[in-house]
Amino acid sequence: MFNQTFDSSLIRRIAIVGSGLSGLTAAIQLRGLGHDVTVFEKSRGPGGRLAAKRVTGGSADMGAQYFTSRNPDFLPFLHKFAGPESFGPWEGRFGFQTNADKRESFPQETRYVGIPRMTAITRALSGHAHVVTETRVATLARNDQSWSLFSTAGSHLGDFDAVIVTAPPAQARDLLADSGLDALASHLDDPVSRVLPCWAVAAHFPVSPWPHHEGMRCKHPALFWVANNSSKPGRNDEGQWWVLHASPAWTEDHVDTPAEEVAEKLLAAFRETTGFDTGPDEVVTHRWLYARSEGGEPPGHLWFPEYKIGLAGDWLSGGRVEGAFDSACGLVAELTTLPTTQ
């Protein structure tokens, strides 16, 4: 255990695990405050669940579909660091089915998307941070007053005064437990149980399969959401790409079902929902084991001063894109208002 007394002005080198919106937000803000920040990302590129898959003629958003902005700091942050060209409003009709053939509109609200794909935002943000991709942080090892980070391959990734973990709860818990930090890992037991999986399918149709909505929350037991990805700004697809998200319960029941079979079943559900009988000519799938958090009273972020380890992410602040931003801002604010000793 670290000595409980430390000088927060000595937090110079900060490691951030994860380059989703929360990790990049924290990195940019902390760098702006003069810290030396390195972001480690296990995937090939930054973005996390702001994700898109390349498809013929463009890309399809497989994770977050859109985001809202209630925090007055969020859009100015995106304008400044991602650039106004990387996102914009998604105009359209959005609603939910109340039964098989009745639908109601979502509340009026501006819904934003990345242009030309969701990852455009995080790609642009990552230009303001030092991001090391294809590097999974496997363990943190205490080193007097700092932490040594090690990759899955056993490489020493550097020494840091503080560590911020922005991975989804299950991955954050594994990292802490594998580092012998069981007291911290135990904070994640309940959040882990609240994260829901989601099978995602993107399907291309030569003609419009559903004229009524650009995005619709479905009543079907297998389907949670369907959206016309091609209706988002800057896509310019020939024909239409639609994204289908399975319901959490259906995904749990089919978590190990082969992707092709999942696509067939979700497309059958799409046909039942829309009445459109023509099959797609191209399909891609993605399985999210950790898609969204539900329930619980999120504390916003977690900071363990005696360890100099913080946790941030959407799951600590409402489970959405904007929550990821809020969570990172809250943690950075706490770090910067720390007394010089505690």
For ligand FAD, the binding residues (CB under 6 A) are 17-23, 40-43, 48-50, 63-67, 136-137, 166-168, 171, 175, 198, 200, 245, 288, 291-292, 313-314, 319-321, 323-324
Smallest separation, CB 225 to ligand FAD (Å): 8
CA distance 117 to 60: 7
Q: Which is nearer to ligand FAD, 240 or 293 (CB)?
A: 293
Compute the half-sphere exposure of residue 41: CA atoms within 13 Å on the CB side of its CA: 23
Q: Which is nearer to ligand FAD, 134 or 190 (CB)?
A: 134
Smallest separation, CB 84 to ligand FAD (Å): 20
Smallest separation, CB 5 to ligand FAD (Å): 30
Q: Which is nearer to ligand FAD, 6 or 309 (CB)?
A: 309
Both tokens of residue 327? 């969570």
| Residue 100 main-chain phi, psi, to 5 deg | -50, -40
From residue 304, give the alpha-carbon distance in Å to each of 29, 78, 268, 307, 330: 19, 28, 48, 6, 14
Closest CA to 163 of 172, 174, 154, 152: 172
CA distance 166 to 39: 10
CA distance 14 to 31: 9
Q: Which is nearer to ligand FAD, 168 or 330 (CB)?
A: 168
* Cβ proximity of 215 and 94 under 8 Å: yes
Q: Which is nearer to ligand FAD, 192 or 198 (CB)?
A: 198
Smallest separation, CB 324 to ligand FAD (Å): 4
How far is C-alpha 131 from the geometric centre of its chain's CA atoms?
Answer: 16
Smallest separation, CB 216 to ligand FAD (Å): 12
Q: How many residues does the chain have?
A: 342
Smallest separation, CB 180 to ligand FAD (Å): 16
Q: Which is nearer to ligand FAD, 8 or 31 (CB)?
A: 31
Smallest separation, CB 89 to ligand FAD (Å): 14
From residue 125, give the alpha-carbon distance in Å to each of 29, 34, 160, 279, 319: 11, 17, 22, 38, 20
Q: Which is nearer to ligand FAD, 6 or 157 (CB)?
A: 157
